[in-house]
């Protein structure tokens, strides 16, 4: 059973500082996960004008899919990986080396986020990791879980001031256009690293531009929502070491064909405790 120092159901609009730091759980290959409480939070970008203001060409800023902001309930706690999946973790599980060869030749290769993996490869990793682990199964986070984790108790454009962004994220302003070892910037209030920057992160959801509009029009808040079931696209979030600042924020949405592989695109995972009564 997952416990937490806050109430069983957290309210996202309260400051994260009102709660103790989430407990941390480890798995069989040394990955660490923050136990995030169930919560109701505001998903999406409330101040679209502020988001457009950061864009280098506000008239061409195509960010309408971030609105309207709407309430979403995550009805169960989430064990979110504290870091993006690293090359070392990938190699331990998959025994191959995707992405640019030069990233694997670096002295710090094990701690770099694994990139150059498509959505199906990320899914396969979660399956193979589950085979190795007697305590947990794994999956990609939903878009709602990812945004809740990235916002870490804040509802503004970012959980930190823009002036402090380089202390929390590797992006084009400070990265030298290269990936960096995970957890070398500051963690957010949930103890999660690189939710913004370093590598884009695949999430589970299919993409639809009107997802938020349909949720906002519903008669009750969405509970544990998933993305468009019929979409051929999959969502990626968070920005990367190659991105300018206007892409490096929790509300920004983009998507790709799930077979796409980019040197800036990786993922992180969610762990689910196994039912001890269920045989493997």
pLDDT tens for each residue of 105-157: 999 999 999 999 999 999 999 999 999 999 999 999 999 999 999 999 898 99
Of the CA atoms within 13 Å of residue 227, those in its CB half-sphere come to 26
> Over the stretch 152-194, which tens digit does the pLDDT of each residue have?
989 899 999 999 999 999 999 999 999 999 999 999 999 999 9
25 burial (CB, 10 Å; 0-12 / 13-18 / 19+) is middle
With bands split at pLDDT 50, 70 and 90, how would you rate the model's confidence at 228?
confident
- Contact status, residue 70 vs residue 217, Cβ threshold 8 Å: no
Strand 234-237 to strand 200-206: parallel, antiparallel, or no bridges (unpaired)?
A: antiparallel
Count: domains in the chain: 1
- For the cut 70, the answer to whether the pLDDT of residue 8 exceeds it is no
Give the relative orientation of helices 119-132 and 87-94 as an angle to the nearest 10 degrees.
70
The region of weakest confidence among 11-20, 109-118, 163-172, 254-263 is: 11-20
Residue 90: domain span: 9-273
Whose CA is closest to 72, among 229, 217, 225?
225
279 belongs to a structural domain: no
Establish if 31 belongs to a structural domain: yes
Classify residue 2: in a domain, yes or no: no
Coil vs helix vs strand at 266:
strand
What is the pLDDT confidence band of residue 2, given thresholds at 50, 70 and 90? very low
243 within a domain of the structure (yes/no) = yes
**Is residue 262 one of the residues assigned to a domain?**
yes
Does 111 reside within a domain? yes
Q: How sure is the predictor about 1, in pLDDT bands with cuts at 50, 70 and 90?
A: very low
CB 77 within 8 A of CB 116: no
Give me the half-sphere count of Cα atoms (radius 13 Å) on the Cβ side of residue 244: 5
Residue 17 reports pLDDT greater than 60: no
| CATH number of the CATH domain containing 243 | 3.90.1580.10
In a domain, 60, yes or no: yes
Q: Quick check: is 72 in a domain?
A: yes
């Amino acid at each position: 059973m997952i416990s937490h120092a806050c109430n069983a159901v957290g309210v996202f609009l309260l400051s994260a500082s009102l709660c103790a730091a989430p407990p941390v759980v480890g798995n069989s290959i040394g990955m660490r996960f923050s136990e995030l409480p169930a919560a109701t939070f505001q998903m999406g970008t409330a101040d679209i004008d502020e988001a457009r203001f950061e864009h280098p060409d506000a008239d061409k800023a195509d960010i309408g899919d971030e609105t309207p902001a709407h309430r979403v309930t995550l009805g169960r706690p989430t064990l979110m990986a504290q870091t993006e999946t690293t090359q070392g973790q990938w190699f331990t599980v998959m025994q191959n080396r995707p992405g640019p060869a030069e990233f694997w030749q670096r002295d710090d290769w094990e701690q770099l986020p694994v990139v150059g993996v498509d959505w199906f490869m990320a899914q396969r990793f979660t399956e193979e990791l589950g085979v190795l682990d007697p305590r947990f199964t794994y999956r990609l986070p939903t878009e709602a879980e990812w945004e809740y984790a990235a916002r870490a108790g804040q509802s503004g454009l970012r959980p930190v001031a823009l002036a402090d962004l380089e202390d929390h994220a590797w992006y084009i302003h400070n990265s030298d256009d290269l990936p960096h070892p995970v957890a070398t910037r500051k963690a957010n209030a949930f103890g999660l690293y690189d939710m913004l920057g370093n590598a884009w992160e695949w999430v589970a959801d299919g993409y639809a531009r009107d997802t938020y509009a349909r949720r906002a029009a519903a008669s009750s808040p969405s509970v544990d929502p998933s993305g468009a079931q019929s979409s051929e696209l999959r969502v990626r979030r968070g920005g990367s070491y190659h991105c300018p600042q206007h892409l490096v924020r929790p509300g920004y949405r983009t998507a790709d064909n799930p077979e796409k592989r980019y040197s800036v695109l990786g993922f992180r995972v969610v762990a689910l405790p196994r039912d001890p009564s269920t045989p493997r």
